[in-house]
Amino acid sequence: MLFYGTELSSPLMLGTAQYPSPDILSETVKVSGAGVITVSLRRESANLRAGQAFWSLLQDLNVPLLPNTAGCHTVKEAVTTAHMAREVFNTDWIKLEVIGESDTLQPDVFGLVEAARILTEDGFKVFPYMTEDLVVAERLLAAGCEVLMPWGAPIGSGRGLNNVFGLRSLRAHFPNVPLVVDAGIGLPSHAAQAMELGYDAVLINTAVAKAADPIAMARAFSLAVEAGRLGREAGPMEPRDMASPSTPMLGLASLS
């Protein structure tokens, strides 16, 4: 699947926040084989030139960057941050977050659609962080988005896919739109499940960065997304309500 005309080397997208050290972050990204890494502008300072060591580390990794507007709560703040990110990171890709509720970090879908329209009209390629709502998806596509990023669960919760029905419905309604499960994934099995549902990628941060061994966990997620994708492509069997013997009955010995 192409993301704004770009084919990723892996369906695993990896966040760069909360790692124990820059060295662990660097090795984790390499081991994961991530196709994209996300970064918040708040790690950089365009005016003071702070954070240049971190910026150099990201450049050395040679992985496509997806800046985000993490922590923005208004349309104006998100749009301003996106413009700053484009200047700092030299990319028109932006993961758009407009947070509407502090406890769950649920997106403000009304502000999200408005900000997406403004940014796409200004040439951005928007990756919107959204709920698994079909109507919101339609509005974001109408606003110019070509990728959708529904949450699996609240950011950093590790709860996995809270609404499998909703995520499956999104996939069925938009078969040709690149879909990424973003937020809430806590285990490699959650990532595999998302890929088995037919999603094109998953975005992971906390589950890797906060693991006891981030490097090993990154490897586990890399294998999980590959297994999930291969399982989906292989054509899995449909669930049944009744048992069906895997060993043929024909030819079995009859004892009386």
Task: State the pairing for strand pair 12-15/6-7.
Answer: unpaired
Higher pLDDT, 144 or 249: 144
CA distance 199 to 203: 11
CA separation for the pair 210, 214 (Å, rounded): 7
Q: Is the dihedral of CA 27, 4, 230, 205 positive or negative?
A: positive
Judged against a pLDDT cut of 70, whether residue 203 lies above it is answered with yes
pLDDT at 53: 76
Strand partners, 222: none
Position 245 scores a pLDDT of 76
Per-residue model confidence (pLDDT) at position 250: 64
Above 70 in pLDDT, residue 88? Answer: yes
Q: Residue 128: which of 111, 114, 147, 102 has the closest Cα?
A: 147
Closest C-alpha to 201, from 209, 191, 211:
191
Per the prediction, the chain carries an average pLDDT of 91
Report residue 44's pLDDT band, with 50, 70 and 90 as the boundaries. very low
Which residues are the active-site residues?
A: 95
With cut-offs at 50, 70 and 90, classify the pLDDT of residue 43. very low
For residue 61, give both structure tokens: 């990794």
Q: What is the CA radius of gyration of the chain?
A: 20
Is the pLDDT at 60 greater than 80? The verdict is yes
Q: pLDDT-derived band of residue 249, with 50, 70 and 90 as boundaries?
A: low
List the structure tokens of 113: 């659609």
Cα gap 98→79, rounded to integer Å: 10
- The three state secondary structure string of 72-129 is CCCHHHHHHHHHHHHHHHCCCEEEECCECCCCCCCECHHHHHHHHHHHHHCCCEEEEE
Q: What pLDDT sits at residue 238?
A: 85
Q: What pLDDT shows up at residue 55?
A: 77
Contact (CB, 8 A) for 34 and 55:
no
Nearest residue to 206 via CA among 151, 163, 252, 166: 151
H/E element holding 22?
Answer: helix 22-32
Return d(Cα 37, Cα 28) in angstroms, integer. Answer: 11
The pLDDT of residue 169 is above 90: yes
3-state SS class at 171: helix
- The DSSP H or E segment spanning 164 is helix 164-173
Q: What percent of the chain has pLDDT over 90?
A: 77
Q: Give phi and psi for 134, each to the nearest 5.
A: -65, -40
Nearest to 65 by CA among 122, 8, 149: 8
